[in-house]
């Protein structure tokens, strides 16, 4: 046998290769394919492509159908409300059956009454001095006149508290029915109240007022006397921050509940 690569004669064909150039002695494998075979392969390929296209169309139709169903369900829910403009009885009942809604209501009430705490204390204890309606943490009576931002922020806290109360009754007030599950809308009053509290706490006059009241309290304690400046007016900011925290937690719980359902 002669090697096809180098032309040298090979005496031992059992080696399977040329001892001179090491070229393999096996014959190359030749695959023969007719035109009919090529046509058949093309047809099979076209058939698979059509099947894939049909599957893709079916998936698309299914998704479109699911979206249509969800859209119809939402429209049906939006059109469900047929009660009075304000369903007060239904709202009161919901506070006993819906824990999340009860928390939202409690947080809203705490935030709403926090600016009134000094005035409430003075009224209950008959302290005859000019009160400041927006004294949320023990400021002197005229501080809001010196720092208008404190009065403005007090009003903003009241507005935020009122908005939270509306959120707690969202399912029982007709205009609020369609946005009752809107997470962003429900977080707006919390964001506004946080901004208001931060701006008040950062106010220079506010800080000075607290420091002055602390000094008066310390002097009164050192003399063994009580002071009208130490009657727990700090309850305002505690209620304010607690109200915001409870409200945010309740809204998050309500969001998770709606998402799971």
- 17-28 pLDDT, tens per residue? 777 777 776 655
**Who's near 96: CB < 8 A, 6+ residues apart?**
102
pLDDT level of residue 231 (50, 70, 90 thresholds)? very low
**Percentages of the chain per state (helix, strand, coil), in multiples of 5:** 70, 0, 25
Whole-prediction pTM: 0.56
pLDDT of 160 > 70? The answer is yes
**pLDDT at residue 139, as a whole number:** 44
C-alpha distance across the termini of the chain, in Å: 82
The answer to whether 117 and 233 have CB atoms below 8 angstroms apart is: yes
């Amino acid at each position: 046998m002669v090697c096809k690569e180098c032309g040298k004669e090979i005496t031992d064909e059992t080696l399977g290769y040329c001892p001179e150039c090491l070229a393999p002695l096996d014959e190359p494998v030749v695959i023969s394919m007719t035109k009919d075979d090529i046509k058949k392969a093309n047809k099979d390929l076209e058939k698979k492509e059509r099947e894939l296209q049909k599957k893709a169309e079916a998936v698309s139709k299914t998704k479109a159908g699911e979206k249509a169903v969800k859209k119809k369900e939402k429209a049906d829910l939006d059109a469900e409300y047929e009660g009075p403009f304000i369903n007060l009885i239904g709202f009161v009942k919901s506070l006993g059956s819906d824990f999340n809604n009860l928390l939202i209501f409690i947080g809203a009430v705490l935030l709403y009454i926090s600016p009134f705490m000094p005035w409430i204390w003075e009224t209950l204890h008959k302290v005859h001095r000019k009160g400041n309606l927006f004294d949320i943490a023990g400021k002197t009576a005229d501080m809001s006149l010196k720092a208008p931002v404190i009065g403005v922020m007090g009003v903003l806290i009241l507005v935020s508290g009122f908005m939270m109360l509306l959120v707690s009754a969202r399912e029982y007030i007709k205009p609020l029915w369609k946005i009752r599950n809107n997470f962003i809308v429900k977080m707006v009053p919390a964001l506004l109240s946080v901004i208001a509290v931060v701006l008040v706490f950062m106010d220079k006059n506010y800080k000075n007022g607290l420091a002055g009241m602390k000094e008066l309290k310390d002097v009164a304690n050192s003399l063994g006397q009580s002071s009208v400046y130490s009657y727990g007016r700090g309850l305002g900011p505690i209620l304010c921050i607690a109200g915001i925290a409870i409200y945010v937690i309740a809204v998050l719980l309500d969001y998770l509940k709606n998402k799971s359902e």
